[in-house]
Amino acid sequence: VADLVLVGGGLANGLLALRLKQLRPECEVVVVEQGECLGGNHTWSFHSSDLTAEQCAWVEPLVEKKWASHTLHFPAYSRHMTGTYNAVTSERFHHVLQRTLGSAIVLGQRAASLAPDRVVLEDGRAIRGCVIDGRGFVSRSLPNVGYQKFLGLDVTLESPHGLTAPILMDVREPQEDGFRFFYVLPWSERRLLIEETFYSDTAAIDKARGALAIEAYARKQGWQITRIDREEVGALPIPFGGRISDFADAETPRDVTLSGVRAGLFHATTGYSLPFAVRFADLLARSATFERAKIQAIARHEAEREWGAGRFFRLLNYMLFRMIRPERRFSVFEDFYRQPEALIQRFYSGRLELRDYFRILTSDPIAGLRRLSLASFEPWHAHD
Ligand SMILES: Cc1cc2nc3c(=O)[nH]c(=O)nc-3n(C[C@H](O)[C@H](O)[C@H](O)COP(=O)(O)OP(=O)(O)OC[C@H]3O[C@@H](n4cnc5c(N)ncnc54)[C@H](O)[C@@H]3O)c2cc1C
């Protein structure tokens, strides 16, 4: 028996467990993860401006590396931007959580069935408590959804790459399969994470083609890869309509409390979920009680609030995926990144101000699409 049973030891439930340990050590938590480590195989990045100073401080132990600025390259211009950019590696995530939570973590056990107050593990053991289902998003075809998909390789180079800041988007390569760009994190003098990313209509990823594309990109920058250290692959939903319930799969009982991406807790346009998971963890850890009905109400309210706040981003996605020819999608980002830095930061953090909506909607090429899309867009259904 526990107060909270967190099913899935990924980003959202891991952050929740950490925050509970920090703020509510009396809360009995169990984390059930099917894999051999927490967090899977990921690099999660975020801008410090996505979080409050207090949130940055409690996430800090998970941060592997941070940079004071970053760069963007478009066909028409390059831009260097200030603001701290952070990267959390799943390896570090696992070690920090294991040290902090110890025996509260059950690894290598798949939850076979879930009810709001009980989980049965594959080996037949049952754990009772308020269940929070954070089993992530299972990639599948959904209506009203495009995909941000990518292959990333951690590589070691023959000689120093010379980068001092991450490249968040390098859009100078030919466009294919929608909006295509490279993303580069300089871990150390000779180590890089290089990702090829697409805003595509499909979730399908050709890993062999992607690896060749990354090698070709590296060669073009004068970087000679001597070793591939790690591979990371994923497809994130980029919704332009639909419902908050779209991201949980059919196996999820209706009244189980959800967390993370399956609760719809992610940025509709960037696909980032770390700031959402941090806010969710803060909120739940501050609950007066861990009684099931209370936890369920807080979680559901938070997911609906965030989903409501995301409707403008889904409108932009609609324009991106439905109203612009795939090979021209990059032009929306090229135009957007001409905006003031403070607006871009508010866009990433999902906290746009009224004047920001106006600026974005009156920018070129969005302006030409605006009237048409507003007439045909159905932005928000919180429930079935
Ligand atoms: C490759 C990749 C890179 C990303 N990069 C970023 C980024 O830079 N910044 C950002 O904010 N977001 C990023 N995202 C988006 C998002 O933050 C991640 O998808 C994030 O991991 C989602 O968190 P989650 O907790 O909802 O699910 P997950 O982290 O996917 O966790 C789900 C966990 O549940 C476990 N599980 C599933 N079924 C069971 C079961 N039956 N029993 C027990 N355990 C189970 C899984 O093994 C997994 O560990 C990225 C996504 C991907 C795929």
Residues 6+ apart with CB under 8 A from 368: none
With a 6 Å cutoff on the Cβ, whether 269 touches ligand 1 is no
With a 6 Å cutoff on the Cβ, whether 260 touches ligand 1 is yes
Q: Please tell me the least confidently modeled range out of 23-32, 97-106, 358-367.
A: 358-367
> Ligand 1 centroid vs 136 CA: distance in angstroms?
5
Please tell me the pTM assigned to this model.
0.94
> Ligand 1 centroid vs 261 CA: distance in angstroms?
7
Tell me, what's the pLDDT at 365? 60
Q: Cα separation of 185 and 45, whole Å? A: 10
Interaxial angle between packed helices 341-349 and 354-361, expressed in degrees from 0 to 180 and rounded to the nearest 10: 110
Torsion on CA atoms 212, 218, 224, 229, rounded to nearest 10: -70
> pLDDT at residue 167 above 70?
yes
> Ligand 1 centroid vs 301 CA: distance in angstroms?
22
Higher pLDDT, 222 or 384: 222
> pLDDT at residue 363 above 90?
no
State mean pLDDT over 309-323: 93
Name residue 371's beta-bridge partners.
none
State mean pLDDT over 18-23: 97
With a 6 Å cutoff on the Cβ, whether 258 touches ligand 1 is no
State mean pLDDT over 145-164: 97
pLDDT classification of 362: cutoffs 50, 70, 90: confident
Mutate to test the pocket of ligand 1, among 18, 30, 33 (most ligand atoms within 8 A of CB): 33
Closest Cα to atom 6, ligand 1: which residue?
Answer: 44
Closest Cα to atom 38, ligand 1: which residue?
Answer: 135
- Which of 244-253, 282-291, 349-358: highest mean pLDDT? 282-291
Mutate to test the pocket of ligand 1, among 6, 92, 135, 256 (most ligand atoms within 8 A of CB): 135
Burial string for 46-68 (b: 16+ CB within 10 Å, else e) reads: bbbbbbeeebbebbebbbbbbbe
Name residue 44's beta-bridge partners.
88
Atom of ligand 1 nearest to the CA of 276: 11
Tell me, what's the pLDDT at 3? 95
Closest Cα to atom 30, ligand 1: which residue?
Answer: 136
State mean pLDDT over 132-149: 88
Tell me, what's the pLDDT at 371? 44
Start-to-end Cα distance in the chain: 33
Q: Cα separation of 171 and 181, whole Å? A: 5
Higher pLDDT, 242 or 21: 21
Q: Which of 139, 158, 202, 145 is nearest to 176 (CA)?
A: 202
Question: Helices (DSSP H) in the chain: which residue ranges?
Answer: 11-23, 53-59, 90-101, 207-220, 274-285, 292-309, 311-318, 330-336, 341-349, 354-361, 366-376
Structure token digits, residue 229: 């250290």
With a 6 Å cutoff on the Cβ, whether 12 touches ligand 1 is yes
